[in-house]
Amino acid sequence: MTAARSGAITEWRSYPMLPIAAALGYATSVIHIYGLGPYIAPISETFGWSRTQTTVGLTLATLIQAVFSIPLGMALDRIGPRNFGVIGMVLTLGAFALLGTATGGTGNWLLLWTIMSLATLPVQATVWTSAVASRFEASRGLAFAITLCGASVAAALFPWLGTTLIDSWGWQTAMAIQAAIWGAIAFPVIFLFFRGAHDRTRSEKASGAKVERDLEGIGFVEGLRSSIYVRLLAASLLFTFTIIALVVHFVPILNDAGFDRQGAAGIAALIGIFSIVGRLATGFMLDKFRGSLVGAVVFLLPVLGCLLLLTMGSHYAGAMLAGALIGLTLGAEIDVIVYLTTRHFGLKSFGALYGGLLAALSIGTATGPLAASYVFDSFGDYMPFLWLTIAFMVASSAALATLPTPRFGIAKH
């Protein structure tokens, strides 16, 4: 048995539930993103809003998150992720339920989304991935993949759950019920099993045991000056600008192509299902092959998906295959960026450096869905945005393909 394989087995025997707990936490952090799609049309119809007006709150929330990503990452490097995750989960689900109390006033809507944005600060991806990175080295790619499958679960479950609850209870009540259901599923697991190397148990505190910390890596300022970091920033921004917009607007895109609400929601669920496949496959490949090339290849899959939507989007086969391709890449986005961050910069300032990348991811998340809404409101369809997605994904893939051999960890070819 090789040393790497032996190390991986030891890691999984020691912390088998940590990636699962982190996955549930990560799913919670995107409930207002991946869960928004089914609510867009009902909210717009209730208040007489355009889709741009309806989704502007998501833009506000993610921009606020972007501002605080680096300070949060610095705090995680010092404090540890457990308290952030446990408390943040409760706040996030409460804020999502509050969205259902909207009155139709613009100020009220922006206020509710401001609360949403502040509530989700403690559950950003940095929180969940930092705990996993501190426990897993030999099997870090697979551990990240399982953690980030939380978003895949969210993409598969939340649109269907939201649509079903809306049909039965109306969108206002549906938001509160959706938050309660997810809290009952996720909170016990997170409370019991989410703890990184920075977070001591009661027995460790009582015995005065020291917490092991892997400080291998480069400093925050040095990392910011690196051209590698600039390329990761560009890839992160371009990717989320397009892929998150596709996920958020996928149901409306299919509605406009002639599918009814349930049919569109069923096809959209394929994004979540295939993103699970994409995450696990990507995690396996990251542990075996060079991460930058793995990312460059999978980032090209949405190009094929968009071409299918442009040419065969009104047919079930074309729409389903497009959803599958988008899902495979959605299952790789954060996995690749997080993994490459740890391998190129180490763990010494991981929270702060990944916080900067998360800011880029948040800006893309904030502006992409709004841009897609603006394109629809201006042109009456999503075709121009699909062409823009193709160009941005090619550029994002090129940014990853040009990265050099990583400094930390075992080099792969």
**pLDDT of the chain, 413 residues: tens digit per residue:** 555 566 677 878 888 899 999 999 999 998 988 888 889 889 989 998 888 788 888 778 877 877 888 888 888 777 778 889 999 999 999 999 999 999 988 889 999 999 998 999 899 888 888 888 888 877 787 888 888 888 778 877 898 899 999 989 999 999 999 999 999 999 999 999 998 776 655 444 444 444 444 457 777 888 888 889 999 999 988 988 888 888 888 888 888 877 877 788 888 888 878 877 887 888 888 877 888 888 898 889 889 988 898 888 778 888 889 888 888 887 677 778 888 888 888 777 777 888 888 888 878 877 888 888 888 888 888 889 899 999 999 999 999 998 888 877 654 54
> Exposed (0-12), middle (13-18) or buried (19+): which is 136, by Cβ within 10 Å?
buried
Residue 284's closest CA among 187, 167, 383, 141? 141
For residue 49, the SS3 value is: coil
Two tokens, residue 10: 């030891």
Give the C-alpha separation, 336 to 355, whole Å. 15
Residue that has been written with the tokens 């460790």 in this structure: 204
- Contact yes or no for 200/192 (Cβ under 8 A): no
Which residues are CB-neighbours of 40 under 8 A, at least 6 positions away?
A: 51, 54, 55, 248, 249, 251, 252
Two tokens, residue 65: 């998150």
Give pLDDT, residue 354: 83
* pTM of the complete model: 0.72
How many residues are recorded in the chain? Answer: 413
Give the C-alpha separation, 413 to 63, whole Å. 37
- Contact yes or no for 21/192 (Cβ under 8 A): yes
Give pLDDT, residue 6: 67
Give pLDDT, residue 207: 47
Residue 225 neighbours by CB distance under 10 Å: 11
Give the C-alpha separation, 318 to 274, whole Å. 15
Two tokens, residue 124: 């950003």
Which residues are CB-neighbours of 279 under 8 A, at least 6 positions away?
A: 145, 146, 148, 149, 152, 331, 332, 335
Residue 357 neighbours by CB distance under 10 Å: 25
- Which region, left, alpha or beta, applies to residue 346 given φ > 0 means left and ψ of -120 to 50 means alpha? left
CA-derived radius of gyration, the chain = 20
Give pLDDT, residue 202: 46
- Which region, left, alpha or beta, applies to residue 402 given φ > 0 means left and ψ of -120 to 50 means alpha? alpha
Strands (E), 52-170: none
> In order of start, what are the domains of the chain with their CATH numbers?
15-198+214-401 (1.20.1250.20)
Give pLDDT, residue 24: 94
Residue 292's closest CA among 137, 139, 126, 413? 413
